[in-house]
Structure 1
Amino acid sequence: MKNKFFRKTYQIGLIALLCGIALESSALAADSDSLRKELRLQAVPFTQVEITSSFWGPKRDTNRLSSIAANLENLEKAGNISNLKLAAKGKDPEHYKGPLFMDSDLYKGMEAAAYTLATDYTPELDAELDRIIDVIAHAQGEDGYINSYFTVVYPERRWTNLRDAHELYCAGHMFEAAVAHYQATGKKNFLNIATKFADYIDSVFGDEPGKRAGYPGHPEIELALMKLWQATGNDRYLKLANFFVIHRGEKFYAKEHNIPLDKYTGDYHQDMYPICDTKTIMGHAVRAAYLLSGCTDVGRETHNEDLLRMVRRVWNNTVYKNLYITGGIGPSAHNEGFTEDYDLPNVSAYQETCASVAMILLNHRLGLLYGDTK
C-alpha cells in the first residue's frame, strides 16, 4: 500500500515536472523568438560606486595595494614587455618569450591598472602605465600594426591564420585597455596608438573592394571595437565590428586552411552556421560568450533584431541546459567548452574562469538592454 502510494506520488510529480519543463520551454522559445521591448538602461559608472562591505572592501584594497603592482611586475619578468621592446627593433625570434598571445596578457593587466587609477589615483601607477605605453608606441609599425609575435618571430605571416593566431584577439584587448586608460586619465597617448591600429585593421578587413574577408578565431575585438567607437565617435569602428559579427559562420576557416566543406566542423570556433541561424551554445566557452557579448553590442546599436533574437535564443539554451549550479559554463577540458545539452559532470567539470567572466559580460549587456532580472 505504502509502495503504491509513493509510486503514484512519484508518477504525478514526474508528470507535473515534465509539464512544467514543456511549458517553460515553450515560454522560453516564445521569449527568444519574439520581439522584446528594449529598455536600454545605462549602467552606473563604477567610479560612482563605493564598496564598503567587510567582505569585498578588503579584497578590493588588496587588489589596489598589492595585486595590480605584482601583476605588472610579473608581466615584466615573463617577457611581455621585453617582447614589445624587441618588436621596436625588428625580427629577432631567438629572444621572443612565451606563446603568440603574450601581448594580450599585458593589455589585460594594463586595463585593470587603469580601472584602479580611475578610483584610486596614484602618480606612481600613472607613471608606470605611461612607461609601458611608450614601449608600445615604439613597437607600433608605421602602418599602425602592433603584435610582438608576428613582428619579432614571423613578420611574413601577418594575417595568414586568423583562426589560430590571436592577432585580432590581442588587438581587441589593446583597444579595451586604451579606452580604460583614456577614461581614467583623460590622456590620449594610449588611445592614439589604439585608433591608429584600428584604422589599419579597418583598411585590411571589410566588404569593400580590395579588402579581405575573415573574422577572428577568438572573438574579442568585436566588443572592443564597440568600446572604441563609443570613446571616439568614429563610425568606422562600429562598421568594422558589425563586419566581423555578421559574417560569422560563413565557414571562412575551411577556406583559410583548405579543408573540404564535407569534412569541416566549425563548432569550436562558432563557425558552423550563419550567425543569426545559431540555435545553441557550442564550441570553446570563452570564445562563445565573448562572441555573444559582441553580438549584443552590435545588435543593440545597429537595431539588428535577428542578431538579438539569436543572442536570446542561445542565452536560453546556455542557462537552462548548459549551466552549472555554480554559474560556471564549459564542462569539457578537451575543448575548454561545450559538448551536448545537460552534459554537466561534477568531477571532470572544466568551468574556466575566463568563461565565467565572459558570461558576466554577456549578462550585464542583456540586463541593460532589456532590464530583465533573469
Structure 2
Amino acid sequence: MKTMGAKEIGIRQIHVDDGFWNKRIRNAVEKVVPYQWRVLNDREPGAEPSHAIRNFKIAAGMEEGEFYGYQFQDSDVAKWIEAASYSLIYEDSPEIRAALDEAIGIIEKAQQADGYLDTHYILKKPDRKWKEIAHGHELYCTGHMLEAAVAYRAVTGDDRLLRVMEKNVELIRSVFGSEEGKLDSYPGHEEIELALMKAYHATGEKKYLELADYFVENRGTRPAFLEEERFLELSRENRWLEADYHQAHARIRDQKTAEGHAVRAMYFYTGAADVALEKQDPTLKAALDTLWDNVTGKRMYLTGGVGSQGEGERFTIDYDLPNDTCYTETCAAIGLAMWALRMLKLDPDAKYADVMERALYNNVLSGISEDGEHYFYVNPLMLKPDVARYRKDHESVEPERVKWFGCACCPPNVIRTLCGLGGYVYTQDGDAVYQHLYVGNKAQFFTSQGEASLSCESSMPWEGNASVTYHGPSGMTLYLRVPSYAENFSVKRNGEPLKPEKEKGYVRLTPQDGDVFTVHDGTLRNGSCKV
C-alpha cells in the first residue's frame, strides 16, 4: 500500500444512490438549493435577512444601497454556488442553471478592475483593503469563491467564474509574499489554502500551489497580522482572540495540540494536508498526525463534533467536553470530514475514514432539519430549552432549528457537503482504489489498463451489509474499509468466503470483471445486545 499518493475520483464520476442518503440529497437538490437562493435574495418570508446577493449588486452598480451583514457575507453566495453546481449532477435543472448564470454575472460585474472582489470592503471600507487581515475575511471569502469556481467548472465545463477568481488570485499574489514591498502575512481565517490546492489540481498551474504553500508554511511567523491595530485591540479585550485563536501562535511543525477557532483549525489542517501530499513532505505529514491524534483522541465528541467552547468558537484543553454547553459548530464537523479525506490521500488508514464517517452521519446531519429549511449552528449533546433561554453560556444555543442565521456560514456549507457527498466515498492511487464509505453509489474511474467501474449497494447504517460490483480490466487493486466498530467483519467474492490481507484497516482485493464482493460488519443492530 502506497502512502502520500492517493487522490479522489472526480466528482462527476460518482453518483450516490443510497437508501440512507437519497432522500437527503434529493431534498437538497430539489428543495433546499432553490430555498437558499431565495434566502440569499431576501425572498423567503420568516428567514433572517441575508442581503448577500444585494451586496454584490450594489458593488456591481446594479442597485444603490449600503453593505449589510457580516464581513464574510460573500462566502454564503460562494458556498451556494458550489452546492448548486454539485446539484446539477443529480438533476440538470434549467432554473438552477439560470440562477447560477445570474449569480456569476453579478459577481463578474462586481469585481474591480484590478481583480479585487470583496463587497464588504468595496462598499463599507474601501480605504481598509488588506489592512485588517486578522479579522477581515478577504482571503477567506476568496477561498470559498475559488472553491465555487472549481466546482462550477468541474460540473458544467464553464470557466467564467474561474477566470474571475484567477484575476483575484493574481492580485493576491501581487500583494502577499516575502519579497520586499509585499505583505509578509497569512490569512486570519484559513480557507484559501485548501481552495488554492483545488485550483491547482483542476488547472495544473503552479501559481496556486506556490501561494498555498506560502500561506501554510508562513503561518506562525511574526509580525504578520499580529501587529495590526484591530488584532491588538481585540486580543487585549478578549484573551480567547489571541494568536492561538488563528493557529498563529507557532509554526505548524511546532504545534502539538489543536488550539483556537475550530473551523479555522480544520480548514488550516485540510489545506496543509493538501500541500504535504503535493510536496511529498513527511515532516508536514508528521505534524498533521500529531494534531490529528490530539483532536480525535482528546478533543472530539463521540458525534465527531469539535470545538467545545462558545466564546471564540474554539478548542479548550484535553477532555474538556461538556454535553450541555458544547458548541460543536456544524462547519467545524464539515471541516473535520474534509481534513479526514485529505489524510486518507496522504495515508490510506481506516482511522481517518472512521472519523470522517462519524462526523458526516452525526454532527454534520444534526445541523439541518429533515425538510432542509431549518438549521442548527451549534450542536450540543444535551439541551434543556428553559435553561438555555436564561444561561449566558447557552446564548448561542437554539432550542429549535431556525430558518436562517444572520451569521449563516453553516446552512450553505451543509448543502454543499450533501450535494458533494460522492467526493468522500473513494480515493484512488494509480491502479488502487480505496472505498472509505459504504454509501450506495455508481462510480467510473480510469486505470492504466483502461476504464473501470464500481457500484455499491448498501443497507448501512441500518444493517451491516453491502455489496460491491466491479467491471473493468484485470490488474487493479480494491481496498474495502473494515470499520472500527465491525465486530466480525467478513467478505465474500461471488458468494465464496474470503480471508484477504488486511492493511491499515482495509482488506486488499484483486477483482476481475463481474466480481461481486459482499461485506458484513458483524455488528448487532435493531435493539439486539450482547450479554
Partner secondary structure for residue 201 of structure 1 = helix
2:322 to 341, 345, 351: 345
Secondary structure of the structure 2 residue equivalent to 1:288? helix
Shift of 1:117: 1.5
List aligned pairs for 1:1-374, cutoff 5 A: 38-77=3-42, 78-89=50-61, 95-251=66-222, 252-257=224-229, 259=232, 265-374=242-351
SS at match of 1:249: coil
> CA deviation digits over 1:112-139, x for unaligned, max 9?
0011123322222112101110100000
CA contact (8 A) 1:47 1:119 kept: no
Cα distance in 1 for partners of 2:63, 2:100 equals: 25
Counterpart position of 1:7: none
Residue 187 (structure 1) shift: 0.8
Secondary structure in structure 2 of the residue aligned to 1:163: helix
Deviations 1:342-370 (A, max 9, x none): 11111111111100000000001101221
Q: C-alpha separation between the residues in 2 aligned to 1:116 and 1:348?
A: 35
Aligned equivalents of 1:70, 1:355: Cα separation in 2: 23
Contact 1:91-1:155 within 8 A present in 2 as well:
no
Larger relative helix fraction: 1
- Give the number of the structure whose residues are more often strand, by fraction: 2
**Alpha carbons of 1:259 and 1:58: their partners in 2 closer, same or farther (altered >3 Å)?**
closer
- Report the equivalent of 1:26: none
CA contact under 8 A between 1:111 and 1:176: conserved in structure 2?
A: yes
The one-letter amino acid paired with 2:9 is V
Q: Percent identity?
A: 39
TM-score computed with the length of structure 2 as normaliser: 0.61
Residue by residue over 1:150-205, the C-alpha shift from the partner in whole angstroms, topping out at 9 and shown as x without a partner, is 00111110000100010000000000000000011001111110111111111111
SS at match of 1:50: strand
Runs of 5+ unmatched residues, structure 1:
1-35
Q: Classify the secondary structure of the residue corresponding to 1:164.
A: helix
Contact 1:91 1:151 in 2 (8 A): no
Distance 1:158 1:42 in 2: 36
Which whole-Å CA distance do the structure 1 matches of 2:183 and 2:225 have between them? Answer: 13
TM-score by length of 1: 0.86
User: Structure 2: which 5+ residue stretches go unaligned?
Assistant: 43-49, 352-531
Q: What is the root-mean-square deviation of aligned Cα atoms in Å?
A: 2.1
Report the more deviating stretch, 219-228 or 45-54.
Answer: 45-54
d(CA) in 2 for partners of 1:259, 1:196: 32
1:46-98 Cα offsets, whole Å, 9 max, x none, are 43333333321111111111000111111111211111111123997x62221
CA distance change for structure 1 residues 124 and 259 in 2, over 3 Å: closer, same or farther? closer
State the Cα deviation string for residues 294-351 of structure 1 (Å, max 9, x = none): 1000111122322221111000111111111111111101121111011111111111
